[in-house]
A and B are shown apart, each in its own frame.
Chain A
Amino acid sequence: MDIQPSIIIMPKILNSDKIKEEDQLIQGENYFLPTFIEQTIDTAATNSDSIVNDSITTDNLLQLADSIIDTQLQGALFYLISGHGGPDPGAVSEINGKQISEDEYAYDITLRIARKIETHSGKLFMIINDPDDGIREDELLDIDYDEYCLPQDEIPRNQTQRLVQRADAVNNLYEDNRDYKYQRVIVIHLDSRSTGANVDVFFYHFPGSKKGETTAKTLQSTFSAKYAEFQPNRGYHGTVSARNLLVIRKVLPPAVFIELGNIQNEQDRKRFIKPDNREALAKWIVEGLIEDFENE
């Protein structure tokens, strides 16, 4: 098969005169597929069904990725914190009578980020873990309360204790990994606002953290470029700002706090409910981290 790199042309634009309502195709019609660079095929994504993450602990063995595809993140260390967990589900909402919660989606996306970091030879620690939830391909993720914080600690109900616990977990690991020149803490959350509030993915860094700010801006820039490329008529308005949040204030490595959208808003929900969208979000975040690492 002859696949050549070329300018990406989105399929709906390419075939705009031959697509019916709800993206249905016409029998007997010919369609053009966009070309893409072969090495960008995300092979890990095609093998993601029911991968069980018993726990990602403190070693650097492949836990989620099937294989390493390159060394773009070799020498980089990430502390990944998925928001809430344990007794605290975070923001909750309801779809077709089923309750969904922020922590389950944040955890799934964080696992996908972890898998991609591994495929690029990066080292990572999942600070929050679930003993029996791996990457899930479901739209409506079941809620549970069994997440724990590294190394093996029950997550407290008290909010301040809960946040201090995960920051301490990062800092304890940092003490043993000071030889890594590039380290970042990535905190993944979903937002909860009124149902009509539509928000793009946005980023916080701790006030005065130059490295955190640079990483946040690089991630934002990556998202801006991705939206321009893959949804050229949509626009993207995600922001970068400083905010004095306990976890990103207390952790020793530079940190970025990412809000992926409003769980109460129907349009924003598509970003988390659809597994393919969760995969794309993780891909873009990791691509931004690769660029940040290369620029450091």
Chain B
Amino acid sequence: MINNPTFTQELDSLKSIVAGKGDGIYKILRDNGYPAEYYYNA
């Protein structure tokens, strides 16, 4: 479960992320519709 100051929701993708298959917290943001600038890294 991810806690947010304003909302809380279950995220299935967390399982694969903690197993080392994802891109960490940026993948959560991407999967939840955050704009690309939130995980821009260049």
Contacts and interface: CB of A to CB of B under 8 A. Distances in A.
A19 interface: yes
Nearest to A4: B6
A35 B1 CA distance: 16
Interface residues of B, number: 30
A23 B26 contact: yes
Interface in B22-40: 23-26, 28-30, 32-40
B7 A42 contact: no
A64 to B, nearest CB: 16
Contacts of B30: 276
Given A11-B26, A33-B28, A277 B40 contact: yes
B18 A26 contact: yes
Given A2-B6, A31-B2, A33-B2, A283 B35 contact: yes
A276 B39 contact: yes
A25 B6 contact: no
Contacts of A31: 2-3, 25, 28
Interface string A257-281: 0000100000110110010110110
A12 B34 CA distance: 15
Interface string B1-13: 1111111010000
Nearest to A287: B37
Nearest to B15: A27
B42 A267 contact: yes
B35 to A, nearest CB: 5
A35 B36 CA distance: 14
A11 B3 CA distance: 12
Interface residues of A, number: 44
Contacts of B20: 24
Interface in A12-36: 12, 15, 19, 22-27, 30-36
B24 A25 contact: yes
Nearest to A9: B5
Given A25-B25, A41-B35, A274 B41 contact: yes
Contacts of A10: 38
Contact of B41 (A15, A226, A277): A277
B37 A11 contact: no
B17 A271 contact: no
Nearest to B34: A36
Contacts of B14: 25
B36 A24 contact: no
A46 interface: yes
Given A46-B33, A261-B42, 10 more contacts: A1-B9, A11-B28, A11-B29, A27-B18, A32-B4, A45-B35, A270-B42, A271-B42, A277-B41, A280-B36
